[in-house]
Amino acid sequence: MRNASDPTSDSTSDPTSDSTSDPTSDPTVRTDAGSRGRAVLLAKGIGLLVLAAAVLSFPSLAPDAFILSVGVVIMSYAVLATSWNFVGGFTGYISLGHAAYSGLGAYATALLVIHTSLNPWVAMLLGGLLVAALAVPIGIASLRVRGASFVIVSIAMVLILLLVFQSWGEVTGGSNGLRVPRPFDESVLRPEQHERFFYLHVALLAVALLTWWAIDRSRFGTGLKAIREDEDKAQSLGVPTFNYKLVAFIVSAFFTALGGGMYALWFGFLDPIFQFSILVGSYMVLMSLLGGIRSLFGPLLGAVIVGYAVEFFKNQYGDTQFHLVAMGLLLGIVVLFMPDGIIPALSSLINRFSPQAASIREVSAGELAEQRRAAASEGKDLDATEAEPTDSLPEGAKR
Amino acid sequence: MASDTPPSTEFLLELTDIQAGYGRAALVLRGLTVQVPPATVVCLVGPNGAGKSTVLKVASGMLTPRSGTIRVAGKDVTKNSPQQMLTAGLSHVLQGHSVFKEMTVSENVLLGAYSVKDKSVVSDRVDFVKSLFPVVADRWNALAGALSGGQQKQVEFARSLMVSPQVVLLDEPSMGLDPKATGTVFEQVVRMRDAGTAVLLVEQNARRALETADLGCVLDLGRVHIQGPADELLRDPQLAELYLGGRPATTPTH
């Protein structure tokens, strides 16, 4: 059934409810939707505060340094998945090779820190910008193809980079790996460094989420979502589809690279086999799909679940390949029961218990006008601005 | 934009002597000529394969004709791309359901104005289509996929009107709708015309379409076979026999 039964069911993307003010909309509907909209807004605000409090209090609640480091890993995944979702969520182009950009971001940051006297954080930002610049030609080449072809091109990117970084030993350290200098001095001990990096990742995540949210509500975002639904139709309406896809792709690569760079500074060691790994790219996709790619917090939720599961299964069954089987099971369950992801599934469940808008019977213009007259004569709290002549032709009609 | 029609021309849309076809296959349109006067509903009827939808594809720039000319308000737009046709004032409502189902009605409608840069023009058009299609105003924040077929069609109409088109090209608006919804949709076609938009309509439901339209063109084998006022076509016994499936309408409905 999907979540098509109610417009507010998608917790994050009802941008039009207040972004586009509509003075002519029907009064009766608006008063109903108004009180309900306020309730939803309040619930969302509270939810957001609870979420922020839960995330920010994690380091002080974590029992030991290991759990804290798992928290950092999860936040790193959350940054990467949210960054991935700029392309996957808006345009529907599924890139399995986003590890290319996190890996490039990590190496760019590391090499800049090693070879220049740049401040590590400036190096990270510069690394992100370099990768974003590199994403321009890659995007121009790869966004020409859709569907399975795009997926394959994205995977090819990662494999090529893996070979390049493994063989180019004198610069990248090759398979021996690359040691990244710590951004904090020796006095900062391990647990404290974990704590700092936890908050740094949260800050980066917040910026990425804010950007995603802003795009979601914008005209640009509407165009991107039209591409996701039907690219040809979007183009026929005048959406510059190729440029839009490219911009989304570059933004995505930029944030992914920042995520990679921050990981490099935290972890302190890079090996091509882990940086340019199909598995990392697949996790970004899995997390986003799990949480829901159309929802702002979908990738974050997915990252928390998958990240925790990965670490848990590795910890329990790390000696065998069973942890991969367990991950597969988890994915299978989600695809079977929540094909749109957890957030849409949950919100449609919640909406089932809340009062529904009227059914979707066919109503002719005449019937509608009658209904309105009836509503108006009942004397609901309608003010003057709401008494609109909607049953006759508009003044602008004759232009 | 639509209002400043140069008075020099009699027709908003003129397809003259169009020859068109797909790939190397035989021609579908063989010297077709159709004219749409301002604020008029022109209906193309005819059997399957007559080339009705192809006419709209040519007019919307999706198919470039091999010969012939297309003029919008007197201006030659024959070689235009679909986007250029849109800016020239031809807005195409596709066959079947073409709303973006996972997006809200408002997003759908605003997408129609994507090529319009001026925000005040857009908000004027929003007010206009909302008043023309009450369903659009009422379900403004609903997901378009949650609307019934007839309502979705009206959202598509609203979307097509956002660019202030000279002529709206409607490809089988009644497709897949029950009789009541079909009635509503045709009612809206008339409202669009009354609001000053010319409509070129293609329909399977020929009788119903001719009852709605002002002018009718009967297509057969890629040419206009008969044309004239729609109510006259409806009463034509030979036409009824050939294309409308049975006896002529004895009592005109207008």
Domain boundaries, chain A: 74-280
Encode pLDDT of B103-151 as tens digits.
Answer: 899 999 998 888 888 888 889 999 999 988 988 999 999 999 899 888 9
Contact A238 B86 (CB under 8 A): yes
pLDDT of residue A363: 55
Nearest CA in chain A to B107: A222
Between the alpha carbon of residue A341 and those of residues A282, A326, A351, B242, the distances in Å are 16, 18, 16, 54
Encode pLDDT of B184-206 as tens digits.
Answer: 889 989 988 998 899 999 988 88
Task: Judge whether B196 is closer than 8 Å to chain A, CB to CB.
Answer: yes
pLDDT of residue B46: 84
Choose the mutation target among A227, A236, A372 for the interface with B, i.e. most B CBs under 10 Å. Answer: A236
Banded model confidence at residue B63, pLDDT cuts 50, 70, 90:
confident
pLDDT of residue A207: 97
Contact B98 A29 (CB under 8 A): no
Nearest CA in chain B to A357: B142
Encode pLDDT of A140-172 as tens digits.
Answer: 999 988 888 999 999 999 999 999 999 998 888
- Across the range B205-222, mean pLDDT stands at 88
Contact A357 B142 (CB under 8 A): yes
Neighbour-count burial of A9, counting CB atoms closer than 10 A to its CB (0-12 exposed, 13-18 middle, 19+ buried): buried
Q: Is the ipTM of this complex over 0.85?
A: no
If you write DSSP's letter for every residue of B19-88 in order, what string do you get? EEESTTSPEEEEEEEEEE-TT-EEEEE-STTSSHHHHHHHHTTSS--SEEEEEETTEE-TT--HHHHHHH
Contact A22 B134 (CB under 8 A): no
Does a structural domain hold residue B251?
A: no
Contact B132 A393 (CB under 8 A): yes
From chain B, the residues in CB contact with A222 under 8 A are 103, 107, 110-111
Contact B86 A236 (CB under 8 A): yes
Does a structural domain hold residue B249?
A: no
Encode pLDDT of A230-277 as tens digits.
Answer: 888 888 788 888 999 999 999 999 999 999 999 999 999 999 999 999
Contact A238 B196 (CB under 8 A): no
pLDDT of residue A269: 93
Q: Euclidean distance between the first and final Cα of chain A, in Å?
A: 43
The CA distance from A288 to the nearest CA of chain B, in Å, is: 18
Does a structural domain hold residue B230?
A: yes
Q: Which of A222, A231, A289, A250 is nearest to A86 (CA)?
A: A250
Tokens of A358: 């009227």
3-state helix, strand, coil in chain B (%, to 5): 35, 25, 40
pLDDT of residue A368: 64
The CA distance from B217 to the nearest CA of chain A, in Å, is: 27
The CA distance from A364 to the nearest CA of chain B, in Å, is: 6
Size of interface A-B (CB pairs under 8 A): 154
pLDDT of residue A379: 52
Contact A14 B124 (CB under 8 A): no
pLDDT of residue A12: 41
Does a structural domain hold residue B252?
A: no
Question: How many residues are recorded in chain B?
Answer: 254
Tokens of A168: 């180019």
pLDDT of residue B18: 92
Does a structural domain hold residue B196?
A: yes
Nearest CA in chain B to A33: B141
Q: Where in the sequence is the domain holding B198, given as residue range(s)?
A: 13-244
B128 in Cβ contact with B158 (< 8 Å)? no
Encode pLDDT of B14-52 as tens digits.
Answer: 999 999 988 877 888 999 999 999 989 999 988 888 888
Contact A25 B138 (CB under 8 A): yes
**Model pTM above 0.80:** no
Which residues between 66 and 85 in chain B have a beta carbon less than 8 angstroms from any beta carbon of chain A? 82-83
CA distance B13 to B10: 9
From chain B, the residues in CB contact with A233 under 8 A are 94, 98, 100
Domain harbouring B156, CATH code: 3.40.50.300
Contact B106 A16 (CB under 8 A): yes
pLDDT of residue B245: 64
pLDDT of residue A5: 42
- The residue ranges of chain A whose pLDDT is under 50 are 1-31, 358-360, 380-399
| CB atoms inside a 10 Å sphere around CB B245 | 9
In total, how many domains does chain B have? 1
Does a structural domain hold residue B240?
A: yes
Neighbour-count burial of A399, counting CB atoms closer than 10 A to its CB (0-12 exposed, 13-18 middle, 19+ buried): middle
CA distance A264 to A124: 9
pLDDT of residue A161: 94
From chain A, the residues in CB contact with B100 under 8 A are 225-226, 229-230, 233
Q: Which residues pair with B217 in a beta bridge?
A: B44, B227
pLDDT of residue A371: 67
